Amino acid sequence: MWPSASAGEVTEELIEERWRQATDPGTLAAARRMYGKAAMAAALNAPGTPYWAKLHQLKARTLITWGRDDRVSPLDMALLPMRLIPDVEVHVFPNCGHWVMIEQKDAWESVVLAFLTRKDEPSR
């Protein structure tokens, strides 16, 4: 688990711990299995419909949160699910990278709680 940090604070301790986890031989091997050339080729050649072509079938209200400055998963990656999922909200957090729930902890929690506790609007 991640070392504790105060709201929104990415500490040196947190960075060091994440680096240790990311460079662990088991983690690297798992990442190669999931994201390596063989895995990508298998995914491209897999029979059936790709997951993104099924996003329009989602029935549940959906919340997507994203850091505007995410260098791992750039913001434009949110455009496809945003356009395809019928009942989706996308919240983009400024001055925030990949760890929205850490970097913008209070704002993220506020958005998630508001989403989860909002009463559904009656059908029109």
One domain, residues 115 and 101: yes
In the prediction, which pLDDT does 1 show?
Answer: 43
Query: To which residue do tokens 């460079």 refer?
Result: 23
User: 115 and 90, same structural domain?
Assistant: yes
pLDDT for residue 4: 47
Domain housing 93: 49-119
Residues 63 and 20 reside in one and the same domain:
no
User: Residue 59 belongs to a domain with what CATH number?
Assistant: 3.40.50.11320
Low-confidence ranges of the chain (pLDDT < 70): 1-8, 121-124
- 93 dihedral zone (left: phi>0; alpha: psi -120 to 50; beta): beta
Q: Is 101 part of any domain?
A: yes
DSSP state of 74: -
Please tell me whether residues 79 and 110 are part of one structural domain: yes
Non-local CB neighbours of 98 within 8 Å, separated by 6+ positions: 67, 70, 71, 72, 73
Among 18, 61, 98, 105, the one annotated catalytic:
98
In a domain, 86, yes or no: yes
Domain count of the fold of the chain: 2
Whether 15 and 72 share a structural domain: no
* Residue 56 designated active-site: no
Q: Are residues 110 and 57 in the same domain?
A: yes
